[in-house]
Amino acid sequence: MRDTSAFHPELRKAAKWLPRRLPTRVIVPLDRFGKRVARLRKPRGEVVDVGPIRVYVHRPQRASSQPLPALLWIHGGGLVMGSPNQDAARLRSLADELGIVVAAVAYRLAPQHRFPTAVDDCHAALLWLAQQPGIDGSRIAIGGASAGGGLAAALALVARERGEVAPVAQILVYPMLDDRTCLRTDLDDERNFRMWTNQANRFGWESYLGVPPGSEGVSSLAAPARHDDLGGLPPAWLGIGTLDLFHDETVAYAERLRAAGVDTELVVVEGAFHAFDIARNAQVVKDFNASQARALERACAPA
């Protein structure tokens, strides 16, 4: 029987059954096969091909004659797996709750597509979204979870660099920001981790970078925590659990954003593991999601 006493009381049941780590070398081929099968089916909802990528669009049920704000969402999966479908229920709920359009990008995955493909795909989706009829291009937020949170942070840097669309917020949910975390052997103890460990982290980062994580010369647009200049980025909301592999890098990034003058909100959930919001009926998860929604609502409000 697993000892779950370290976890938040509302999360102990989920922690008991969730895997400590995903067998990435097994799951990745299965994930690819599942995507090929899914593309043969008629897609649910609005799916748009944007060059080599797909964007899944969720619109609010209540109609509006005015251009709407939007969120570009980037899914997680360690940079090597996952799809927008895994977040569909939450994204539909956000669209209805906030009256915004939510577009989720199916960026191309590593190792078949290494950096900078994923972040370039996300930027292409951001440009596409800003140009769509019925979208207020001046009120677009970007966000994502896990690897998607890291890509959202990278996208904020790319958007600042290229100057074509200026996101109004970045929502970084337990983000994967720093390949150098892989070098920390003190994090190799998996007892209190769930879903994503340092072993899986090494696999994901090396698949994406094409070099061992922690190597010299890794681009700061691949690993945003390496970037020297965080000034001028959009307001940020970051959320993380204390028992998440990414806890330290997330807190450090939030502190650096604040030091650079970026309006930053950091939510740290005691006793929460990676992807703990899978326990969606727990009050601690509802509060976590509500905090994200409030940040989005503030960012997308009319000027």
Q: How confident is the model at residue 37 (pLDDT cuts 50, 70, 90)?
A: very low
Residue scoring higher pLDDT (38 or 291): 291
Choose among 72, 104, 108: nearest CA to 88. 104
Q: Select from 199, 131, 212, 201 the least CA-distant residue to 165.
A: 131
Tens-place pLDDT, residues 132-158: 999 999 999 999 999 999 999 999 999
- Say yes or no to pLDDT of 39 above 80: no
Write down how long the chain is: 303
* pLDDT exceeds 50 at position 28: yes
Q: How confident is the model at residue 45 (pLDDT cuts 50, 70, 90)?
A: confident
Distance (Å, rounded) from C-alpha 261 to C-alpha 258?
A: 5
The per-residue pLDDT for range 71-89, each reduced to its tens digit, is: 999 999 999 999 999 999 9
Q: Among 40-44, 226-230, 243-247, 271-275, name the one with the lowest average pLDDT.
A: 40-44
Q: Provide CATH code, domain 9-38+56-300.
A: 3.40.50.1820
Give this prediction's pTM: 0.93
What distance in Å separates the CA atoms of residue 276 and residue 257, rounded to the nearest whole number? 24
**Dihedral over Cα of 139, 145, 151, 153: its sign:** positive
Tell which wins on pLDDT, 32 or 15. Answer: 15
